[in-house]
Amino acid sequence: MSATTPGLRARLATRWTETKPMLTGLIIGLVAGPIISGFAGFQVRTSTAEAATRSSVVEQQAAFCAERARAATPGSAALDWQARGELARRFATMPGAAAGSADQEVAYACANRLSR
């Protein structure tokens, strides 16, 4: 067995020498890949996606609110800040929702749209 051991060791050493750069590159890539792609913006985190979704929902509901308020109250752009806020709170409740369940973000965005 001592005659085959040096040959086996030599083959394993040669194989290790050949595969070591590939394994090192694989490990570095597995560690650095997610870090680099995260900094470059290729990954979307759950909180970022939820915030973007919430923002788009609020803007869409504010657009509905503003159109409904303008249809019901002509000259809404000439109202003062407090009157626009009350008008926005009244129309910020979406159809099918419980009365008085207006979202404050929607009411604020609606009031801003009414001022334009």
Q: Answer whether residue 44 shows pLDDT above 90.
A: no
Q: Answer whether residue 2 shows pLDDT above 60.
A: no
The whole-angstrom separation of Cα 49 and Cα 43 is 10
Q: If you average pLDDT over every residue of the chain, what do you get?
A: 88
CA distances from 75 to 58, 62, 86 (A): 23, 18, 15
Burial of residue 90 (CB within 10 Å: 0-12, 13-18, 19+) is middle
Mean pLDDT of 77-92: 89
% of the chain with per-residue pLDDT over 70: 96
3-state secondary structure of 91: helix
Q: How many CB atoms lie within 10 A of CB 94?
A: 14
Mean pLDDT of 81-97: 87
Q: Answer whether residue 1 shows pLDDT above 60.
A: no
